[in-house]
Amino acid sequence: MHAIDPLLAEAAANLSGAARLKADAQAELEALGEAERKRVPGLPAVTSIVRVGPAAREILASARDSAAALVVMGTQGLGGIRKMFFGSIAEKVLRDAAVPVLAVPLPESATTGPKSARDSEAGVPDIRVVIASVELDASAEAVIGHAVSFARGFGLPVMLLHVVPPIDRMPRALEAARAAERLHETNAQARLAELADHIRGEVDVEVEIRSGSAAEEIAAAAAARRALATIASGGENAHHRPGSIAYRVLCLSEAPVLAVPFRRL
């Protein structure tokens, strides 16, 4: 699916080329799909969609209209702070999608420079493990279910990761805050052990608990382990605004992120 910028479409229309612009985009998408079918034996037919409008809006509309089960999108090869400002399309899709979104950061080599004979494989991440970022709420099962599904499909192990957030404290409440963090960690250990037991027969599974900023710790774990990070894109906790953690992980690392929409009923 490709969205044509409305300003570009308007300029082309003024030059009597709007229909040609859309036809060229359609032809290019079809050529990409056909190339993949030749490269991957048994790949099913590929449908190409070209829409005119803001990219995030049209991606979400296409997913809704086609009853998609998953949206896969690349993000520009921009790192750190630059990506925070220029990655608004990915942020909007992650925030508002009603289905899981797999966002894959594209390295600079995949977006610039001369093309090679291995272009079809360029930028494909070398994934060694699937991380399920687990909160101690009802979103855990949904995140783990998607993580296990991906892990089984590619023969990978699963890591259940929980990040204990720091507790804001006044100096006089330091000991109480430390006690609260230790209690949180104890509860997390018990919950993750229980969740791990449920999937142990399906995939190899390990458990890890970290302390600190959720996005920073998930990004660090994903980078260290060459992981795909599976994250709830909503949740019961106030700091889990839809898409925020997933998008920050994308900004902080080159790890692909699978954002699983979750809304408390």
| Strand bridging mode 158-164 / 129-133 | parallel
**Among the listed ranges 150-164, 167-181, 220-234, which one has the minimum average pLDDT value?**
167-181
Instruction: Kindly indicate the confidence band of residue 107, based on its pLDDT and cuts at 50, 70 and 90.
Output: low
pLDDT of residue 235: 42
Tens-place pLDDT, residues 125-160: 689 999 999 998 889 999 999 999 999 999 999 999
Mean pLDDT for all residues in the chain: 82
Q: Which residues pair with 230 in a beta bridge?
A: 132, 258
**C-alpha to C-alpha distance for 247 and 160, rounded to whole angstroms:** 19
Q: Is 181 helix (H, G, I), strand (E, B) or coil?
A: helix
pTM of the model: 0.82
Give yes or no for a contact between 245 and 218, defined as CB atoms under 8 angstroms apart: yes
pLDDT of residue 155: 94
178 pLDDT above the threshold of 90: no
**C-alpha to C-alpha distance for 255 and 71, rounded to whole angstroms:** 17
222 pLDDT above the threshold of 80: yes
**C-alpha to C-alpha distance for 68 and 1, rounded to whole angstroms:** 12
Q: Which residue has the tokens 């003024």?
A: 14
**Going from the N-terminus, what domains does the chain have, and what CATH number goes with each?**
77-265 (3.40.50.620)
